[in-house]
Amino acid sequence: MSRRLLPTLLVLAALISDAGGSHGLALAFLLCAIPAAFVLALDCYGDVLEARCSGIRPALAGLALVLLVLSAALRSPAVTGGVPTLAVSALVMTLVLYAAISVGALFPGRALPESV
């Protein structure tokens, strides 16, 4: 359960840090969220292999991971002049994708019929 909640909490903490003007702390939260998001994507893929859900959930988790990497790359210390709007928008979109994954987990897909 905590594997599924940790990336969302880290992204939310990064977004709150950005809103407070602490962009270095937001980058640190993002860099911690990337491995957690990767574990979530693998966990969702494992659910597909065990026929507990459709392929949409790991696709959403993978897209959220890509958005996290994009946001971290855009706000890296090499970029000067503040945080780009696209970096913050990617965080918000990541939260939307994690919400969709959570809603999808509430309604598990039908298991595939077993072959005889």
Tens digits of residue pLDDT in 86-101: 999 999 999 999 998 8
* The model's pTM: 0.82
3 state DSSP class of 88 = helix
**Confidence at residue 103, expressed as pLDDT on a 0 to 100 scale:** 83
Amino acid, single-letter form, for residue 110:
R
Helices (H), the chain: 2-19, 23-49, 56-74, 85-106
- Give the Cα-Cα-Cα angle 112, 51, 41 (nearest 5 degrees): 150
**Confidence at residue 102, expressed as pLDDT on a 0 to 100 scale:** 84
The structural domains of the chain, with segments of one domain joined by +, span 2-106
pLDDT category of residue 104 using cuts at 50, 70 and 90: confident
Amino acid, single-letter form, for residue 114:
E
Average confidence (pLDDT) over 63-89: 85
The whole-angstrom separation of Cα 82 and Cα 69 is 18
Tens digits of residue pLDDT in 6-61: 999 999 999 999 888 888 899 999 999 999 999 988 888 887 787 777 778 888 99
The whole-angstrom separation of Cα 37 and Cα 62 is 8
CA neighbor of 41 nearest in space, from 25, 57, 17: 57
